[in-house]
């Protein structure tokens, strides 16, 4: 009997694997595998979310109008050039869908965000991987991959899963040397974790350049991961094309209201940034103190650390041992980091516990 057959490019997609939150036996783990905010969301966002959750019988505002206006006021942008999505992943997929298809190429850096490969293949495009430099973005390597078939370049800045950061000068040079027909997508999911003075100028480029799209999310520092709220900013022409294929009512009423409140919670964001910087440095120092076990920490500008295991124990072995001790981190073989574990910065208790568990595992192996 015949049956529907999916497109070949769909079957070439490796499904996204989320961070673990429980062991194979169902035991709940301390979840440090998904880069969530360990402090939760702001009290105002939680209150707005609960208040709006009673309005389940009416469709949400399809254009996320109040949220777009608030974002525009916050960042001095044109609200008509903002698009909201079901997480920034949705906006990334819309970009790939609107500007690429079969026979087109989408470029991203080695060790880039896993969604880029999925977004490229989903619409029949060909993913093209540029070499990294020090686990980060190499502008020259990306430019060397550009040809007449190139349509989109995805850059996460800071980068997930490595935590590396490309300077304003590097991003500006990349945009300046890309052909005009190539859309440069600057994924700023972790931008709020940057120190003062580290802004890469992405929104400024999107304001003035016709081929730049910036994406942001409320899932990370704002602590609204469950609500799936993201947004993007680009020229009117880019946003118009994406809105033509955006699903209607794609951001819930409760999500829109929670995001509005989160956007106004400057003190919560500042506190989350301070907490993260303190415990990221503390965990990095603790792990570097285990250097005789063959560990290497990649300097991070995000809310996680990428730790490379080059000694007696492999990343796979350490990951399994951490699960036994009750901690979920992220092993990354699917992204070419077989020897790497990505560790989210948790609460003080969680971060101290993770460091102690890691030390016990490594010392027991010697």
Q: What is the pLDDT of residues 335-354, one digit of tens each?
A: 899 999 999 999 999 999 99
As a whole number of angstroms, the longest Cα–Cα distance in the chain is 63
Report which of 302, 77, 314, 71 is spatially closest to residue 188, judged by C-alpha positions. 302
Report which of 16, 68, 348, 105 is spatially closest to residue 233, judged by C-alpha positions. 68
Q: What is the DSSP letter of 32?
A: -
Work out the angle at residue 281's Cα, subtended by the Cα atoms of residues 279 and 283, and round it to the nearest 5 degrees. 65
Report which of 186, 110, 190, 200 is spatially closest to residue 153, judged by C-alpha positions. 186
* H/E segment holding residue 359: helix 348-365
How many of the other CB atoms lie within 10 Å of CB of 62?
Answer: 14
Q: What is the DSSP letter of 131?
A: P
Residue 319 has phi, psi (to 5 degrees) of -60, -45
Residue 120 has phi, psi (to 5 degrees) of -65, -50
90 within 8 A of 249, measured Cβ to Cβ: no
The SS3 assignment for 41 reads: coil
The bridge status of strand 230-233 relative to strand 212-217 is antiparallel
Angle at which helices 315-324 and 348-365 pack, to 10 degrees?
120
Give burial (CB, 10 Å; 0-12/13-18/19+) of 114: middle
Task: Please tell me the distance from the alpha carbon of residue 5 to that of residue 201, in angstroms, as a whole number.
Answer: 45
How many of the other CB atoms lie within 10 Å of CB of 351?
Answer: 23
Would you state the CATH architecture of domain 8-40+267-365?
Answer: Alpha-Beta Complex (3.90)
Work out the angle at residue 162's Cα, subtended by the Cα atoms of residues 359 and 117, and round it to the nearest 5 degrees. 130
Q: Would you list the domain boundaries of the chain?
A: 8-40+267-365, 43-266
Write down the H helix ranges in 157-292.
168-177, 202-208, 236-245, 253-263, 266-288
- The pLDDT value recorded for residue 11 is 82
Report which of 82, 37, 347 is spatially closest to residue 192, judged by C-alpha positions. 37
Helix, strand, coil share (%) of the chain residues, nearest 5:
45, 20, 40
The bridge status of strand 183-187 relative to strand 230-233 is unpaired
Q: What is the DSSP letter of 192?
A: G
Task: Please tell me the distance from the alpha carbon of residue 116 to that of residue 107, in angstroms, as a whole number.
Answer: 9
Strand partners, 129: 108
The SS3 assignment for 160 reads: coil
Residues of the chain under the 70 pLDDT cut: none
The dihedral of CA 275, 277, 278, 283: what is its sign?
Answer: positive
- The pLDDT value recorded for residue 24 is 73
- The pLDDT value recorded for residue 13 is 79
* pTM score of the predicted model: 0.95
Q: Which residue has the tokens 């020897």?
A: 339
Paired tokens of 314: 């492999």
How many Cα neighbours within 13 Å face the side chain of 248? 2
- The pLDDT value recorded for residue 364 is 87
Between the alpha carbon of residue 218 and those of residues 54, 109, 221, 269, 302, the distances in Å are 21, 24, 7, 11, 15
Task: Please tell me the distance from the alpha carbon of residue 171 to that of residue 111, in angstroms, as a whole number.
Answer: 18
Same fold, 8-40+267-365 and 43-266: no
Q: Does domain 43-266 have CATH number 3.20.20.210?
A: no
């Amino acid at each position: 009997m015949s049956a529907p057959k999916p497109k070949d490019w769909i079957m070439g997609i490796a499904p996204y694997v989320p961070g673990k939150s429980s062991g194979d036996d169902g035991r709940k783990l301390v979840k440090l595998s998904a880069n969530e905010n360990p402090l939760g969301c702001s009290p105002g966002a939680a209150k707005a979310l609960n208040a709006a959750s009673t309005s389940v019988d009416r469709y949400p505002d399809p254009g996320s109008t109040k949220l777009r206006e608030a974002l525009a006021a916050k960042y001095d942008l044109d609200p008509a050039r903002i698009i909201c999505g079901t997480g920034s992943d949705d906006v990334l997929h819309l970009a790939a869908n609107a500007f690429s298809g079969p026979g087109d190429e989408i470029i991203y850096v080695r060790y880039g965000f896993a969604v880029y490969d999925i977004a490229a293949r989903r619409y029949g495009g060909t993913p093209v991987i540029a070499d990294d430099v020090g686990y980060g973005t190499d502008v020259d390597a990306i430019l060397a991959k550009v040809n007449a078939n190139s349509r989109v370049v995805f850059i996460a800045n800071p980068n997930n899963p490595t935590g590396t950061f490309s300077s304003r000068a590097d991003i500006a040079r990349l945009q300046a040397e890309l052909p005009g027909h190539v859309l440069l997508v600057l994924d700023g999911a972790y931008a709020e974790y940057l120190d003062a003075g580290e802004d890469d100028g992405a929104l400024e480029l999107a304001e003035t350049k016709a081929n730049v799209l910036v994406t942001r999310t409320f899932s990370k520092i704002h602590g609204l991961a469950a609500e799936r709220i993201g947004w993007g900013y680009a020229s009117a022409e880019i946003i118009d094309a994406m809105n033509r294929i955006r699903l209607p009512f794609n951001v819930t009423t409760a999500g829109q209201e929670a995001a509005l409140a989160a956007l106004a919670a400057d003190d919560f964001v500042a506190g989350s940034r301070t907490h993260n910087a303190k415990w990221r440095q503390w965990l990095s120092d603790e792990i570097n103190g285990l250097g005789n076990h063959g560990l290497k920490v990649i300097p991070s500008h995000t809310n996680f650390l990428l730790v490379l295991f080059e000694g007696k124990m492999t990343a796979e072995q350490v990951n399994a041992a951490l699960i036994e001790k009750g901690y979920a981190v992220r092993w990354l073989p699917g992204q070419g980091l077989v020897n790497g574990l990505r560790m989210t910065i948790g609460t003080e208790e969680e971060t101290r516990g993770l460091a102690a568990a890691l030390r016990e595992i490594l010392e027991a192996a010697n």
